[in-house]
Amino acid sequence: MPAPHPFTPILAIALACGLTGACDRGTPEAPAPVVIKPAIAKEELLVLAASSLTDAFQRLEREVEQKHPNVDVLLSFAGSSALALQIDQGGAGDVLATASEEHLHKLVTAGLIQDGVVFAHNELVVAVPESNPAKIERFEDLANAERIVLGAPNVPVGQYADGLLERAGASIGAQFAAQVRAHVVSREANVRLVLAKVELGEADAAIVYRSDIRATGKARAIELPATLSERATYPIGVATRSKHAALARTFIGYVLSPEGQAAMVANGFIPARPPAGATEPKP
Q: What is the pTM of this model?
A: 0.81
The angle subtended at Cα 80 by Cα 75 and Cα 84, nearest 5°, is 90
CATH 3.30.110.70 fits 43-121+233-271, yes or no: no
Share of the chain above pLDDT 90, in %: 79
Q: For the residues 103-125, what does the mean pLDDT come to?
A: 96
**The predicted structure's pLDDT at residue 41:** 79
- Give me the count of residues in the chain: 283
- What is the gyration radius of the CA atoms in the chain, in angstroms? 30
User: What is the Cα–Cα distance from 164 to 177, expressed in whole angstroms?
Assistant: 9
Residue pLDDT, tens place only, 182-217: 999 999 999 999 999 999 999 999 999 999 998 777
Render pLDDT for 153-176 as a digit per residue (tens, 0 to 9): 999 999 999 999 999 999 999 999
Mean pLDDT, range 18-37, rounded to an integer: 54
DSSP 3-state assignment of 147? coil
What is the pairing mode between strands 231-239 and 95-97? antiparallel
CA–CA dist 84, 33 (Å, integer): 53
Amino acid 214: pLDDT: 81
- Would you state the pLDDT for residue 216? 74
Determine the pLDDT at residue 22. 46
pLDDT in tens, 229-258: 989 999 999 999 999 999 999 999 999 999
Distance CA 168, CA 162 (A): 10
Beta strand extents in 51-112 (DSSP E only): 71-78, 95-97
Q: Confirm if 229 and 192 have CB atoms less than 8 A apart.
A: no
Confidence tier at 33 by pLDDT (50, 70, 90): low
Domain residue ranges in the chain: 43-121+233-271, 122-231
Structure-derived torsion over alpha carbons of residues 66, 281, 206, 151, reported in degrees to the nearest 10: 50
Query: What percent of the chain clears pLDDT 70, i.e. is strictly above it?
Result: 82
Task: Summarize the confidence of residues 120-128 as an average pLDDT.
Answer: 97
Q: What is the CATH number of domain 122-231?
A: 3.40.190.10
What is the per-residue pLDDT across 81-109, written as a single tens digit (0 to 9) for each? 999 999 999 999 999 999 999 999 999 99
* Residue 10 banded pLDDT, cuts 50, 70, 90: very low
Domains 43-121+233-271 and 122-231 share a fold: yes
pLDDT of residue 57: 98
